[in-house]
Amino acid sequence: MNQPTWYALTGVILFSMGIHAFVIRTHLVRRILAFNIMGSGVFLLLVAIAHRIPGAAPDPVPHALVLTGIVVSVSFTAFGLVLLKKIYAKTGKTALIDPTESTSDQTN
Amino acid sequence: MMFEEWISSALVCAGAFFYLAGTLGMLRFPDIYTRLHAVTKADNLGLGLLAAGLMLRAESWPAMIKLALIWMLALVTSATACYLVANNALRAGLPPVLGRYRSGSRP
Amino acid sequence: MTALTWIFDGLLTAAMVYLAWSLLSERDLFKAVVLFIAFGLLMALAWVRLRAPDIALAEAAISAGLSGVLLLDAVGAIRSPNPVPEDTSSDSG
Amino acid sequence: MNDFYLAVSAFLLVNILVGLVRILRGPTPPDRMLMAQMFGTTGVGILLLLSEAMGLPVLRDVALLFALLGALATVSFVRRYWPVEFAEEESKE
């Protein structure tokens, strides 16, 4: 058990908590936050497994992947928040699923 | 060389002490205005002492100038943020705690 | 690998896990957003500890600068007075 | 000497974690936002110490970015989340 393994374990825990919250929450801001936590867990795992040989320089390919992933995740966060503001302005709701009524009789 | 190291270590320790003072003020002060005081004054003084201590051990002149610039940038941004928050809080009507404050009567 | 690095890494990872847990189970939306900004700052420190300063630069710029601004803007727009009543039943869960 | 810098940075990390109490307990929104500002200032200190302890001078650029962008979240909070015309209902919270 060395330092990158420790951080990889943290990434796995963060991913599990994020996907749990992503499934059970319906508020869209909470879903976006949970999605960001999930992404952070995956990035942490990727950078931690880039240290393959202890003491040597880390593998640069996962670093490039993670850099791209951070930029993509922040652009998707911005896009999701703009969609959320549009949904709120049109319907006054902050969730796509209304938990008080059943969804079986809806067509779309 | 030895003398410089001692001075540098003392400055870093003093900076850590002012950070501790800022955190204690953050926890113990009663209202938003005094907490702003703790965050923007004590923490930035701690950062300045820390940067001064690291400047003595910097490897070149540009590194020293960069450390000083980091401190000045932190001063400018935190002064701006402090003014905005305090002005908005006063105009919003958050009441400052006046008179003698007793630690038992936490608001 | 001394004991001090273990203390630092243990504190950092424990704080990250606790922060993620408390922000995901927080009822107040604004509090969750502030906790998310703090989580981003700790993530930048974690990249530094993993010797990836380029990712730390990107994370500092994006999480401290961009994400917090966007989330605060969206939460402020949701909370602002609106003729349509806000759906509070989806908040609990 | 590196152990000394690492110990001081671990001490500053403990400061951050103790200050987390103010986010969780702060009575008004600006108190919580103020903690994000304090995280920024303390994070600059930790990054400067780590750049000396780990021998990575590039971390000073990360610290510069922290100092520049740490206040951005506070400014956005004041301008977008907490404008003064909504202030009366906010201060009763």
Q: Check pLDDT > 90 for residue A37.
A: yes
Note whether D24 contacts C: Cβ–Cβ < 8 A. yes
Residue D81, CA atoms < 13 Å, CB-side half-sphere: 28
List Cα–Cα distances, D16 to B77, D13, D20, D34, in angstroms: 19, 5, 6, 12
- The residues in C 29-48 lying below 8 A from A, measured between CB atoms, are 29, 32-33, 36, 39, 43, 46-47
Taking only the tens place, the pLDDT of each residue in A10-24 is: 999 999 999 999 999
- The residues in C 19-48 lying below 8 A from D, measured between CB atoms, are 19, 22, 30-31, 34-35, 37-38, 41-42, 44-45, 48
Note whether A2 contacts C: Cβ–Cβ < 8 A. yes
Nearest CA in chain D to C6: D10
Whether ipTM exceeds 0.85: yes
* The pair of three-digit structure tokens given for residue A59, joined into one six-digit string: 């593998």
Cβ(D15)–Cβ(D62) below 8 Å: no
Question: Of D43, D37, A21, D5, which Cα lies nearest the Cα of C46?
Answer: D43
- DSSP per position, A69-104: HHHHHHHHHHHHHHHHHHHHHHHS-SBSS-TTS-ST
pLDDT at residue C80, as a whole number: 61
D56 CB-near residues (< 8 Å, 6+ apart) = C48, C51, C53, D50
Question: Of A30, B85, B70, A44, which Cα lies nearest the Cα of D36?
Answer: B85
* CA dihedral angle for residue A56, residue D11, residue B7, residue B63, rounded to 10 degrees: 50
Note whether D78 contacts C: Cβ–Cβ < 8 A. no
Nearest CA in chain D to B47: D45
Note whether D70 contacts C: Cβ–Cβ < 8 A. yes
B95 CB-near residues (< 8 Å, 6+ apart) = B31
Domain count, chain A: 1
Contacts of D82 in chain B (CB under 8 A): 88, 92
CATH code for the domain of A34: 1.10.287.3510
Is residue A62 assigned to a domain?
yes
Average pLDDT, chain A: 85
Report long-range pairs for B33-40 (Cβ below 8 Å, ≥24 apart): B33/B86, B33/B89, B33/B96, B34/B97, B35/D22, B35/D31, B35/D34, B36/B82, B36/B85, B36/B86, B36/D34, B39/B78, B39/B82, B39/D34, B39/D37, B39/D38, B39/D41, B40/B78, B40/B79, B40/B81, B40/B82, B40/D37
Contact between chains at B16 and D44 (C-beta distance less than 8 A): no
| Nearest-CB residue to C48 (from D6, D62, D82) | D62
Give the pLDDT mean for B63-83.
91
Is residue A106 assigned to a domain?
no
pLDDT band at C81 (very low <50, low <70, confident <90, very high): low
Q: Check pLDDT > 70 for residue A46.
A: yes
Contacts of A66 in chain C (CB under 8 A): 52, 55
Is residue A52 assigned to a domain?
yes
Among A46-50, A89-93, C5-9, C29-33, the minimum mean pLDDT is found in A89-93
Q: Check pLDDT > 60 for residue A106.
A: no
| Nearest-CB residue to D36 (from C34, C45, C53) | C34
Among A53-62, A69-78, B97-106, the minimum mean pLDDT is found in B97-106
Domain encompassing residue A78: 3-91
Picking from C17, C42, C48 by the largest number of D CB atoms within 10 A of its own CB, the best residue to mutate is C48
pLDDT at residue C2, as a whole number: 79
Taking only the tens place, the pLDDT of each residue in C26-39 is: 888 889 999 999 99
Instruction: Write down the domain spans for chain B.
Output: 2-92
| Nearest-CB residue to A6 (from C9, C55, C90) | C9
Contacts of B50 in chain D (CB under 8 A): 45, 48-49
Cα separation, B22 vs B24, whole angstroms:
5
Average pLDDT, chain D: 83
Note whether D69 contacts C: Cβ–Cβ < 8 A. yes
